[in-house]
Amino acid sequence: MDIAVMEECTRASHEERITFGEVVGRLIGAGVERYHADLVRGETTYFMPDGQSHRVIDKTVETPPADAFSADGVLAAVRAIQAGKIKYLAFCCRIMEAGCVGYLVSMQGRRAVYYGRSGETYVEPFPASAG
């Protein structure tokens, strides 16, 4: 388990030095199967296929998540970051304003699943350029 890669991906994301596609590529290279970002707690947990995991504490976003989940709001934020109109921290603020409290990224499933307080979800397949 390459903990240094996991910690660097988290740090680089929060410092806005890396794109989602670069994160996915590095994590695949390190053998990571999936990761979970808890936006409220400010932590990301990386999971390996053999059951090992590593949690990285990162900065919490100051934006409180909305009570109601808006899949359209999450989609708009996803499209904005994919188009390069916003960076990671603005993306986190926007999805939290849309009621997202966390997301799971599956390298194997090639998708990100964004979820709200009541279990509502929005699923975004990886763009062709990711990973």
Convert the pLDDT of each residue in 7-51 to its tens digit: 999 998 888 899 888 999 999 999 999 999 999 999 999 999 999
* Alpha carbons within 13 A on the beta-carbon side of 42: 11
Distances (CA, A) of 39 to 1, 50, 52: 24, 25, 22
pLDDT tens track for 82-95: 999 999 999 999 99
Q: Residue 50 has what DSSP assignment? A: T
Asked if 43 and 57 count as a contact pair (C-beta separation under 8 A), the reply is: yes
Question: CA dist 30 to 9, 17, 55, 57, 79, Å?
Answer: 11, 19, 15, 19, 27
The domains located in the chain, with CATH, are 3-123 (3.30.1810.10)
Q: Which residues sit opposite 113 in a β-bridge?
A: 104, 123
pTM of the full structure: 0.91
pLDDT band, very low/low/confident/very high, at 127 (cuts 50, 70, 90) = confident
